[in-house]
Amino acid sequence: MHAVVRVWNHAEEMLVAFLLAGMTLVTFAYVVFNNLYGVFYSLGDSLPFANDALLGIGDNILYIAQEMTWSVALTKAMFGWLIFVGLAWGVRIGAHIGVDLLVRQFNPANQRRVAMLAVLICLGYCALMTYSSEQWVATLYEVGTSAEDLDRFGIAQWQIVMIVPIGFALMFVRFLQVFIRIVQGKQQGLGLHSEVDDAVKLADNDQSGTEK
């Protein structure tokens, strides 16, 4: 079981890194091609003896830039995947300081109960969104709507948005792991107590400064 969790964690991190790198590379390539052809046109004007060759290179680069209209749509799709993969990853690393900060406002005897209630609410929300988004994806699949600017690669709209139910389902599993740890007494709140403590100290310092 621990081996499966480790593989899942590693795959999650790799996917986040891949999406970030992919978005950066695609955007970088699009910007380069949209500005590079002008350089060769200028060189062609400055070097008459190589004008035809340089203008030919510039034309080819301009053609590539004009054909890369799909890059914007691909970047948006990858960003959407990054968001929903990041939801589960955020739960895993405890990136919900606001919820945990609310839990810490209660006395130690009630913190565990409030944390369990908060996680149950999160589980219910994730389950609802997983079901609703799955119905949405199923509808898009039946309709067969093509993805704008990505249809040239045979990509349909449902293939992009299917990350929505997958992301909420993964987040449900992550919250379930948190709930089990709270029930077992392995953690008091939703995690990252050091971050919560820092936030509480910062709030106290601001309040003290205001009072002075």
What value does the mean pLDDT of the chain take? 81
Q: What is the mean pLDDT of residues 8-24?
A: 89
The pLDDT of residue 97: 58
The pLDDT of residue 40: 76
Q: What is d(CA 212, CA 198) in angstroms, rounded to the nearest whole number?
A: 21
Q: What is d(CA 171, CA 87) in angstroms, rounded to the nearest whole number?
A: 6
Q: What is the mean pLDDT of residues 177-192?
A: 77
Residues, the chain, total?
A: 212
Is pLDDT of 12 > 60?
A: yes
Structural domain spans, the chain: 1-67, 96-201
Is pLDDT of 196 > 70?
A: no
Taking only the tens place, the pLDDT of each residue in 96-145 is 655 666 677 777 777 788 888 888 998 999 999 999 999 999 999 999 88
What percent of the chain stands above pLDDT 90? 30
User: CA angle at residue 13 from 102 to 172, to 5 degrees?
Assistant: 45
Q: What is the mean pLDDT of residues 144-173?
A: 90
In a 3-state reduction of DSSP, which class is residue 156? strand
Structure-block tokens of residue 81: 């995947």
Q: What is the mean pLDDT of residues 24-31?
A: 91
Taking only the tens place, the pLDDT of each residue in 56-81 is 888 888 888 888 888 889 999 999 99
Query: Between 177 and 109, where is the model more confident?
Result: 177
Contacts of 50 (CB under 8 A, 6+ apart): 43, 44
